[in-house]
Amino acid sequence: MPDLPSVKLPPAVIALLLQLAALTLAAATLYSTGLALSPLAFATLCGVIAATLSHFAGLARWWLLIQLLFAPALVLMLAANIPPEFFLAAFLAMLAVYWSTYRSQVPLYLSSKKVWQALESQLPPEVAGRSFSFMDIGSGLGGVLLHLAAIRQDGRYYGVETAPLPWLASWLRIRLGGYRNCTVAWGSMWDCDLARFDVVFAYLSPVPMEQLWHKVRREMRPGTLFISNTFAVPEHPPQHMLTLDDLHRSTLYIWRL
């Protein structure tokens, strides 16, 4: 029999489908037993079923709590009579900051100052009349780029960021700070050619690492450096690892191509 193509849905979509399944199961239970429940009790039943289904569907642990609380929180919020504009504004703000995180599974969180400082030691040595290029893929608010651009002015610093608000914030920081050796583009790292850079830095999540590794191997030039903060590449150990004494005990994984 021919292999069927496997479709991998993002966890957020699976979670939503399981909420709908839980709602159907809870409604069917009430209908068949003739039981009458208050809206909050019904929502709690939905939450328990959704969390149970999510456990068996293999969703990560934090999803179980979200699934458990989602329907009861909805009922409580509706009872609080909050103006709908509030939810629209909150949704738009979250969208601007997190954008396609539901699909990419790479949210915004920032490298520590100790990571910025450790990156200084990984930059190519200073050579008079020569510059190097550094790329932060998923550059967030631009903290890594601005720090390095101020410390090592012989470099050219690039960032690419997919979420509009972080991109705008980093663009403004660069413009207002007068950093002439720094640029951030609004776009996806998957559309960015890594062959142009001497050092590529990533602080993403476990999800894209394998695919990113293939891109790095395909595009980066021999002798250039790929550095990942915190997230290793499965089955491809780095040549160097630096563990830092910041809050998260961040580890930098360093590969010389």
Ligand X SMILES: C[S@@+](CC[C@H](N)C(=O)[O-])C[C@H]1O[C@@H](n2cnc3c(N)ncnc32)[C@H](O)[C@@H]1O
Q: Which residues form the interface with ligand X (CB under 6 A)?
A: 104, 106, 108-111, 136, 138-140, 143-144, 160-163, 166, 188-190, 203-204
- Asked if 60 contacts 54 with a C-beta cutoff of 8 angstroms, the reply is no
Residue whose C-beta lies closest to ligand X:
138
Query: By 3-state DSSP, what share of the chain in percent is helix, strand and coil, each rounded to 5?
Result: 50, 15, 35
DSSP state of 3: P
Tell the smallest beta-carbon distance from residue 203 to ligand X (Å).
4
Interatomic CA distance for residues 70 and 63, integer angstroms: 10
Judged by CB, which is closer to ligand X: 19, or 104?
104
Tell the smallest beta-carbon distance from residue 111 to ligand X (Å).
3
Query: Angle at the Cα of 197 (from 180 to 158), degrees rounded to 5?
Result: 35
H helix or E strand, kind and range, residue 185: strand 182-186
Return the SS3 of 196. Answer: helix
Tell the smallest beta-carbon distance from residue 163 to ligand X (Å).
4
Q: Look at residues 15, 207, 188, 185 and name the one whose alpha carbon lies nearest to residue 106.
A: 207
Tell the smallest beta-carbon distance from residue 187 to ligand X (Å).
7
Residue 243: CB atoms within 10 A of its CB come to 10
Interatomic CA distance for residues 57 and 201, integer angstroms: 34
Judged by CB, which is closer to ligand X: 49, or 202?
202
Find where tokens 């394998």 sit.
Answer: 210
Judged by CB, which is closer to ligand X: 29, or 112?
112
DSSP state of 163: S
Judged by CB, which is closer to ligand X: 163, or 216?
163
Judged by CB, which is closer to ligand X: 59, or 141?
141
Tell the smallest beta-carbon distance from residue 48 to ligand X (Å).
33
Tell the smallest beta-carbon distance from residue 246 to ligand X (Å).
12
Judged by CB, which is closer to ligand X: 130, or 249?
249
Rounded to whole angstroms, what are the CA distances from 134 to 85, 152, 167? Answer: 42, 11, 17
